[in-house]
Amino acid sequence: MTQTAVDDEQGTVSLPGGFREAPAVTTVFADLLKHGPVARVTVAQRTGLSQAAVTKAVNRLDLRGLISTHDAAPSSAPGRPVQPISVIEDAQISIGVTLRVDEIIAVATTIRANVIHSIHRPLASIAVDSVVDAIDEVVGAIVDALGPDADRVIGVGVGVSGDVDKEHGVVRDSPRLNWSQVDLGALLAPRMPFPVVIENDVRALAIAEEWFGIGVDTHSFAIVTIGAGIGCGLYVNGDVVDGALGVSGELGHLPLATTGERCTCGRRGCVETVASSAAILGRIRAAKRKPSLTMQDAVALGRAGDEDAVAAFEAAGSMIGLAIATMANLVGPGVVLVAGEAVTNYDLFEQHLRSAFDEHAFGAVRDCRIVTRTHTFEDWARGSAASVVHSMLRQTLTA
């Protein structure tokens, strides 16, 4: 983050977009963003602010052109008209970028993470310089698509898999991109006319779910992404878990496998050595002695009941179920969303995932709901866009 959030002299903080306001204004804005449209009285109840303080904050936000107050919708209580207030969605625009090994995706979203524009481009190389150029290019294309609306862009979020130091914008270790200690924030900053946020991609997805998905109704949930890697975003007691050192929820690198195979991270025994797409495919290729076998072939074999394929998918399911139970026993989420590209093959391992979870879940953790959620790659970019707003509000709310 390049933006200064706190003005010590006046005790004000910055809202997304750089407006300086009292902390109560930010608190009300954050509540409206997540729950709006709502009545002032509800905002007061939820935030613990007095109704007078809420009204004052609402007036400031109105003045800034960030919210609208509706006069419609009469209340169910006779004689007491309700004036629901909501954030003006497109008053501010966020740009989100997500990286796959062979593709880069960028979106422009409203402040409530609704996608306005999206761009997909092939990624020729995952070398740092090429990726920086590619990010610059897709952000430029999004800005062109926005035209005059680009004036309302508040920042660019970039989601990267692996160990990401959000505070300093450094990708410390990304096995999937084969990056180590890449100062991505500093490389991008001179090329971007907006503040840049670098975030772990699964955590970015959790942020979007926190505000505009399952987090609206539950105070603790986890997203487990399955596919090329096994990731996990944690949302506990009303906030996304960053971890003091920037690492948290590395489910794929829990040392639960007994096969002793080496992981992409260099360690042995990680969950990913059994449960990642590459691990499943590798096992089936070896059993079939067919190195050219594709994931599509593997899935077809599994669905046709081929013993080797079925065993590989079931082993992955059991491993993921064990990993989820381990995480749930520690954290206690009410819901686990299973997402990621491998969800399309969920029928091949769901039963084993659930039995392993039930077997290892302690006490009431067994009541934790496990549901699947299909995310497109655009949803990942949308999460990166949400992380910009989250990062700005988090700074001001904790200042």
* Three-state secondary structure call for residue 153: strand
Q: How many CB atoms lie within 10 A of CB 367?
A: 8
Using the rule CB under 5 A, which residue among 131, 182, 187, 270 binds Zn ion?
A: 270
The region of 96-104, 211-219, 266-274, 298-306 touching Zn ion under the rule CB under 5 A is: 266-274
Using the rule CB under 5 A, which residue among 263, 310, 322, 342 binds Zn ion?
A: 263
At CA 96, angle to CA 149 and CA 12, rounded to 5? 75
61 or 263, CB closer to Zn ion?
A: 263
Q: Confirm if 61 and 51 have CB atoms less than 8 A apart.
A: no
CB of 257 to Zn ion, least distance (A): 9
Q: Does 176 bind Zn ion (CB under 5 A)?
A: no
CB of 272 to Zn ion, least distance (A): 6
**φ and ψ of 89, to 5 deg:** -55, -45
* Three-state secondary structure call for residue 131: helix
Q: Confirm if 369 and 336 have CB atoms less than 8 A apart.
A: yes
Write 173-176 long-range contacts (CB < 8 A, 24+).
173/265, 175/229, 175/263, 175/264, 175/265, 175/266, 176/101, 176/228, 176/229, 176/264
C-alpha 285 chain-centroid distance: 33
C-alpha 348 chain-centroid distance: 26
Using the rule CB under 5 A, which residue among 100, 203, 253, 382 binds Zn ion?
A: 253
Burial, 341: exposed, middle or buried (Cβ in 10 Å; 0-12, 13-18, 19+)?
middle
Q: Does 265 bind Zn ion (CB under 5 A)?
A: yes
CB of 173 to Zn ion, least distance (A): 11
CB of 261 to Zn ion, least distance (A): 10
CB of 249 to Zn ion, least distance (A): 14
**With CB under 5 A, what is the number of residues at the site for Zn ion?**
5
How far apart are the two ends of the chain, measured CA to CA in Å?
Answer: 14
267 or 369, CB closer to Zn ion?
A: 267
The region of 185-193, 250-258, 287-295, 300-308 touching Zn ion under the rule CB under 5 A is: 250-258
27 or 276, CB closer to Zn ion?
A: 276
The region of 67-75, 200-208, 216-224, 251-259 touching Zn ion under the rule CB under 5 A is: 251-259
238 or 255, CB closer to Zn ion?
A: 255
- Establish whether the linkage from the previous residue to 37 is cis, with ω within 30° of 0: yes
163 or 379, CB closer to Zn ion?
A: 163
Both tokens assigned to 146: 């926005």
262 or 290, CB closer to Zn ion?
A: 262
267 or 366, CB closer to Zn ion?
A: 267
Burial, 322: exposed, middle or buried (Cβ in 10 Å; 0-12, 13-18, 19+)?
buried
Q: Does 131 bind Zn ion (CB under 5 A)?
A: no
The region of 120-128, 228-236, 259-267, 297-305 touching Zn ion under the rule CB under 5 A is: 259-267
Residues that bind Zn ion (CB under 5 A): 253, 263, 265, 267, 270
